[in-house]
Chain A
Amino acid sequence: MKFVIEGLTVYFPYEFIYREQYAYMVELKHALDARGHCLLEMPTGTGKTITLLSLITSYQLANPSLAKLIYCTRTVHEMEKVLDELRRLHLYQEKEIGSSRAKILALGLSSRKNLCIHPVVSGETSRESVDAGCRKLTASWVRAAAETNLDIETCSFYQGYEKQGSEQPLPPGVYTLHDLRVYGRQRGWCPYFLARQMIQFANVVVYNYQYLLDPKVSGIISKEMQKECIVVFDEAHNIDNVCIEALSVNLRQNNLDGASRNIHKLNQIISRFKETDANRLRQEYNRLVEGLAQQGNLHGSDNWLANPVLPEDILREAVPGNIRRAEHFVAFLQRAVQYLRERLDTDTVVKEGPVSFTTTMSTAAGLDQKALKFCYDRLHSLLLTLEVTEIDEFLHVQTVCNFLTLVGTYTRGFSIIIEPYDERMPHIPDPVLQLSCLDASLAIKPVFDRFQSVVITSGTLSPIDLYPRLLNFNPVIIHSFTMTLTRDCLCPMILARGSDQLPVSSKFDMRSDPGVVRNYGRLLLEMVATVPDGVVCFFVSYSYMDGIINSWNEMGILQEVMQHKLVFIETQDYVETTLALENFRQACDCGRGAVFFSVARGKVAEGIDFDRHYGRLVIMFGVPFQYTLSKILNARLEYLRDTFQIKEGDFLTFDAVRQAAQCVGRVIRSKADYGMMIFADKRYNLPNKRNKLPQWIQSQLREEHLNLSTDMAVHIAREFLRRMAQPSDPQVSKSTLLSQEDLEKMAAMPNF
């Protein structure tokens, strides 16, 4: 359907639109008009993606000055889903306004691992090895050497792309990763480099968060994006964590050992070069005297190690003298590794700021701060000069340089924590040196500064006013939409007491209490006997899950549960979990019924949907607080309190509740679906937790569903399931949908 929002014609590929989708479009349009950023929360299952795509592409059609839409997703799977929706939209637009006007080029970009079609290299398992395999075949000096020496292997797809692909753009259309691979095979062009090239011409680019947020990647991929872009971060409830991870580095013993080996190897290569090609090293030295900044265009296509520091913090000046010569730099690195090794060898936990760390570093090991800043670029230059292609072998020294550069550059917003062992397993020595970024706003700031409009959206962004403070930006629009439901297909409940009326909680002093464990067990048992098909349980951590399942096993509860449903458990092993999920689905399909035990913040909680009969009930056992004794968390809390005036408790609760909401949100993926959610902890009853739940859960959380005990919850569940099993009235479900006429009527009335 086609309709007009405040003068903008919007093309929407479906016949009906939900009210909240329409409202979402209106708000989004206001933000785009104001050229500002916005923060929008809309529940899952209401078609966020198509709403965003449809409004923004229509906006692009109306305003050709707008450069492109950059759509960031978290996983490849989501990326493909977005592109599929976009294709449907594109077909509709072509039908409406003809293919000449509705010309768009949209493509997804991912790592080489997902795009490579080289028969040997694409068979590699890890991302790094595919990257390295590609580089071995496509680095400029390899190709230069191959021209004279026919024995040197190159990648025919890259050659094909070099010869013709780089000039002529792709025909307009929507390209998923799969399409790109198919197209690449047909033409004999490398899809990865093709996609990277085509980003400049594309109207819509879909890629991973990292490509914008991680300076190591964004420096290569996204530096040529114009200001007039609209950036969308979808499923962005964890965006602060992504930002922080992008600027944090962990160093362990094996990293340092590896770095030492790398340095040794570098030394060998340098001495070999000195004998054969000393001239090259001298050239490099001269370049460095002029400054790193000016030599960026030396090797056009070899831009593979970008600085981990944010663009505006990179120094545009010459490299300090003490690391200009290759052997001096390597010696410098050796000293640094040695120093870090000494620091790592400690019995106590050390917490330091970057300033004091660099000061002691320069006094103890003679490593001055200015040189530290240049480590990463210097390494980059050295590896290029030495024509190293096996970069996957040099990962460790890269990590060390990454660390050194960050430590040298930033004086605030970071902290360095050295822990001799994991708090939870004190008897196993596992020293780790962590440079942790405390300020999520650092990594995202360049994005806000560079682009005209940034849209941050998700199903769970509550409490929504905390995000602007965490990310330190001023959105022009903040809005949380609720879902219009045709029937009460959500049934959230807060269970505070077990069947014996004693409170249940995963609070630290209560969690190992056998009474609480038994009550949780009874709850599960009653529920598996009441709820059909799939049930999903979330626990606060792996260790808690292991403990409670063990106790249930000893109490015989697990055996009773198995009489009703099969039990599957998420483990830290990815393959095992995938297999468990597959069998879980099968058990639900064939009517046996199954229950899945999983962990909040785990893989399953973040990415797997339990829609329809796969998840009729989700139980959240306890409040998923972060591990509060963690030093990193404490440092971050302190920083948040000092810098943004966010209280520790507020942040912890906010984080725990958003994780819980994320977990329970897994069960409902569309309006036709229905599901129950049980928050099994007495602390959810407190208003400060309850009010932080997303609006769409709160509005369904009825007064009589608070502070329940197990038997009351069972009763409510029975009634709810019977009610939901009744056929829904198609007449009623129409009422939440707006047709084209409805919208025209609404447009006629100014005060809708």
Chain B
Amino acid sequence: MEKRSGQGGPAFQEDEEMEEEDKAPDMEAWERAYADDRSWESLIEDESGLLKAGDDVQQQRQHRRRLIQASGPRIQRGIIRYLCLILDFSRAAGEIDFRPSRMAVVAKAVEDFVREYFDQNPLSQLGIIVMKNGIASVVTELSGSPEAHIRALKSNLESFGEASLQNGLELAHTYVQHIPSYGHREVVIVFSALSTCDPGNILETVKKCKAARMKCSVVGLTAEIYICKHISQETGGSYAVAMNEGHLKEILLEHVPPPAAMPDASSASLVRMGFPQRGSEGAVAICACHKELRIGGGYICPRCRARVCELPTECSLCGLALVSSAHLARSYHHLFPIPTFDELLVDASLRGKSSFAGSCFGCRIQLSGGGSLRLRCPRCKRDFCFDCDVYIHESLHNCPGCETLQEEAVT
């Protein structure tokens, strides 16, 4: 079991992971948990003889390296995404090397992913396809409601038969064909199996997907598979294999931020959108999405006055994209991200100088003591600790230093 950085990520289920089915005869189960983990090896003794758990700074660097890779220069991003999630519920998904089973772990990770996806991409849509028994079937059509997806997925948890990537991709291909041209077509495949059992030549299908500008990414659960690598390379997607449950979530969540806009889709086009008002409490109306009588709540389409239950969505009568202004605002930070902070190397000769004596601008923790990286915002030149850096970049999307500068400028 590889040790991974724990900061900011979800809780690790390492203990569960340890209960693998192999029974080494000369070691008790609880012993093996430690033998595999080797947590004592990462203990470090500092000058005063105190033990510290692991090399914090190294782990922090590792975490940041991923952030830096993800950010890059300011780029045009595709805010309006149509993402097809293809889940593999073949026989291999019933394996129990992830507890309780790969399928259950995938379902849980997907649930988190769906919520996070709609949270960060309110203007986007998502659909779920499941591969099992050699065929691919639609679980949910492309739509904007996280709860509906999660509900449908939970009622669909069975695994048997073979997986067929070709069928999955073909289905996704028909699915994304009538997406408007400004939408980003993405496919994320969560693949448990080690082989794909196809009716025809999958390489042709890959070519077709490439021609349709579908970006296919694969998240593997077991090992690197050549065809998955091929698919992702050809279509410009990414390929990653999960080490454990935590890592699976992590790599799945990497698909949450909107991708860079495709170079040939750069023609700026205006998209007609409606900003519906919330219906008054107690008003009785026939809901356009459920086709039944509902009392109170809901939103009224500004064009055709139909009532819809949730935002964002497409009005089922007039087809207008319905969003709230908050959704647009939340998508905004992807377009203008805060710059990544620069790491300042703490040099012994500089330690005495005033600029290095300070504390974190965010939480006022002392930075000179070590144990945390010292990070500086390139715009406002304020220093932050590692935890604040993560918070600012992953949740807040505002730099407190720059904000105060602006305030000062105003006053």
Interface residues of A (CB under 8 A from B): 501, 529-533, 563-565, 588-593, 612-613, 616, 711-712, 714-715, 718-719, 721-727
Partner of B241, one of A565, A593, A725: A725
Cβ of A723 and Cβ of B226 under 8 Å apart?
Answer: no
**A711-B226 contact in complex given A590-B198, A590-B201, C-beta closer than 8 Å:** no
Partner of A591, one of B23, B195, B242: B195
**A711-B97 contact in complex given A593-B194, A723-B2, A725-B241, C-beta closer than 8 Å:** no
Give min CB distance, B215 to chain A, whole Å.
18
Cβ of B223 and Cβ of A531 under 8 Å apart?
Answer: yes
A725 partner residues in chain B, CB cutoff 8 A: 220, 223-224, 240-241
Cβ of A591 and Cβ of B223 under 8 Å apart?
Answer: no
Partner of A715, one of B20, B201, B230: B20
A589 partner residues in chain B, CB cutoff 8 A: 203, 226-227, 230
Q: Which 8 A-B pairs have the closest CB atoms?
A: A591-B227, A725-B241, A721-B223, A613-B226, A725-B224, A593-B195, A715-B22, A591-B196
Cβ of B194 and Cβ of A564 under 8 Å apart?
Answer: yes
In Å, the complex CA distance between A529 and B94 comes to 12
**A588-B226 contact in complex given A565-B195, A593-B194, A722-B242, C-beta closer than 8 Å:** yes
A711 partner residues in chain B, CB cutoff 8 A: 21-23
Partner of A718, one of B165, B196, B203, B222: B222
Interface: B243 (CB within 8 A)? yes
Cβ of A532 and Cβ of B24 under 8 Å apart?
Answer: no
Cβ of B198 and Cβ of A530 under 8 Å apart?
Answer: no
Most buried by B among A616, A715, A722, A724: A722
A722 partner residues in chain B, CB cutoff 8 A: 222-223, 241-243
Interface: B202 (CB within 8 A)? yes
Cβ of A591 and Cβ of B2 under 8 Å apart?
Answer: no
Cβ of B165 and Cβ of A591 under 8 Å apart?
Answer: yes
Interface: B392 (CB within 8 A)? no
Cβ of A721 and Cβ of B224 under 8 Å apart?
Answer: yes
Interface: B228 (CB within 8 A)? yes
Cβ of A714 and Cβ of B203 under 8 Å apart?
Answer: no
B20 partner residues in chain A, CB cutoff 8 A: 715
In Å, the complex CA distance between A681 and B162 comes to 33
A718 partner residues in chain B, CB cutoff 8 A: 97, 222-223
In Å, the complex CA distance between A642 and B293 comes to 102
Interface: B225 (CB within 8 A)? yes
Cβ of A590 and Cβ of B194 under 8 Å apart?
Answer: no
Interface: B256 (CB within 8 A)? no
A727 partner residues in chain B, CB cutoff 8 A: 240
Cβ of A590 and Cβ of B22 under 8 Å apart?
Answer: no
Interface: B309 (CB within 8 A)? no
Give min CB distance, A38 to chain B, whole Å.
39
A724 partner residues in chain B, CB cutoff 8 A: 223-224
Partner of B194, one of A531, A612, A712, A726: A531
Give min CB distance, A559 to chain B, whole Å.
15
A-B contact pairs, 28 of them (CB 8 A): A529-B194, A530-B194, A531-B194, A532-B224, A532-B225, A565-B195, A589-B226, A590-B201, A591-B165, A591-B196, A591-B227, A592-B195, A593-B194, A593-B195, A613-B226, A711-B23, A714-B22, A715-B20, A715-B21, A715-B22, A718-B97, A718-B223, A719-B1, A721-B222, A722-B222, A722-B223, A725-B220, A725-B241
Interface: B197 (CB within 8 A)? yes
In Å, the complex CA distance between A414 and B220 comes to 60
In Å, the complex CA distance between A725 and B232 comes to 14
Total CB contacts across the A-B interface at under 8 A = 87
Give min CB distance, B168 to chain A, whole Å.
12
Cβ of A532 and Cβ of B2 under 8 Å apart?
Answer: no
Cβ of A726 and Cβ of B241 under 8 Å apart?
Answer: yes
Interface residues of B (CB under 8 A from A): 1-2, 20-25, 92, 97, 162, 165, 194-198, 201-203, 220, 222-228, 230, 240-243
B194 partner residues in chain A, CB cutoff 8 A: 529-533, 564, 593
B240 partner residues in chain A, CB cutoff 8 A: 725-727
**A533-B23 contact in complex given A590-B203, A592-B195, C-beta closer than 8 Å:** no
In Å, the complex CA distance between A530 and B20 comes to 14
Most buried by B among A563, A588, A726: A726
- For A564, the closest partner residue in chain B by CB is B195
- For A534, the closest partner residue in chain B by CB is B226
Give min CB distance, B367 to chain A, whole Å.
26
A613 partner residues in chain B, CB cutoff 8 A: 224-226
B226 partner residues in chain A, CB cutoff 8 A: 532-533, 588-589, 591, 612-613
In Å, the complex CA distance between A722 and B241 comes to 7
- For B238, the closest partner residue in chain A by CB is A727
- For B97, the closest partner residue in chain A by CB is A718
Most buried by A among B21, B162, B228, B241: B241
Give 16 new A-B contacts, CB below 8 A, not counting A565-B195, A593-B194, A613-B226: A530-B222, A530-B223, A532-B195, A532-B226, A563-B162, A591-B225, A591-B228, A711-B21, A711-B23, A715-B22, A718-B223, A722-B222, A723-B2, A725-B241, A726-B240, A727-B240
Give min CB distance, A727 to chain B, whole Å.
8
Cβ of B22 and Cβ of A533 under 8 Å apart?
Answer: no
In Å, the complex CA distance between A723 and B202 comes to 27
In Å, the complex CA distance between A592 and B203 comes to 12
Give min CB distance, B167 to chain A, whole Å.
13
B165 partner residues in chain A, CB cutoff 8 A: 591
B92 partner residues in chain A, CB cutoff 8 A: 529
A563 partner residues in chain B, CB cutoff 8 A: 162
Cβ of A712 and Cβ of B22 under 8 Å apart?
Answer: yes
Give min CB distance, B365 to chain A, whole Å.
30
A593 partner residues in chain B, CB cutoff 8 A: 194-195
In Å, the complex CA distance between A563 and B195 comes to 10
In Å, the complex CA distance between A590 and B206 comes to 11
B1 partner residues in chain A, CB cutoff 8 A: 719
- For B225, the closest partner residue in chain A by CB is A532
In Å, the complex CA distance between A591 and B203 comes to 10
In Å, the complex CA distance between A591 and B220 comes to 13
B197 partner residues in chain A, CB cutoff 8 A: 592
Cβ of A532 and Cβ of B223 under 8 Å apart?
Answer: yes
Give min CB distance, B263 to chain A, whole Å.
24
B22 partner residues in chain A, CB cutoff 8 A: 711-712, 714-715
B227 partner residues in chain A, CB cutoff 8 A: 589-591
In Å, the complex CA distance between A712 and B32 comes to 12
In Å, the complex CA distance between A588 and B225 comes to 9
In Å, the complex CA distance between A613 and B226 comes to 6
- For A718, the closest partner residue in chain B by CB is B97
- For A719, the closest partner residue in chain B by CB is B1
Give min CB distance, A16 to chain B, whole Å.
23
In Å, the complex CA distance between A564 and B1 comes to 26
In Å, the complex CA distance between A723 and B220 comes to 12
B220 partner residues in chain A, CB cutoff 8 A: 725
- For A616, the closest partner residue in chain B by CB is B223
- For B244, the closest partner residue in chain A by CB is A722
B203 partner residues in chain A, CB cutoff 8 A: 589-590
In Å, the complex CA distance between A593 and B241 comes to 18
In Å, the complex CA distance between A719 and B195 comes to 18
Give min CB distance, B354 to chain A, whole Å.
34
- For B220, the closest partner residue in chain A by CB is A725
- For B229, the closest partner residue in chain A by CB is A613
Cβ of A723 and Cβ of B243 under 8 Å apart?
Answer: yes
Most buried by B among A533, A590, A721, A724: A590
A723 partner residues in chain B, CB cutoff 8 A: 2, 243
In Å, the complex CA distance between A563 and B165 comes to 16
- For A612, the closest partner residue in chain B by CB is B226
- For B221, the closest partner residue in chain A by CB is A722
Give min CB distance, B228 to chain A, whole Å.
7
- For A720, the closest partner residue in chain B by CB is B223
A612 partner residues in chain B, CB cutoff 8 A: 226
Most buried by A among B23, B97, B227, B230: B227
In Å, the complex CA distance between A531 and B195 comes to 10
Cβ of B198 and Cβ of A591 under 8 Å apart?
Answer: yes
B225 partner residues in chain A, CB cutoff 8 A: 532-533, 591, 613
In Å, the complex CA distance between A715 and B92 comes to 16
In Å, the complex CA distance between A613 and B229 comes to 11
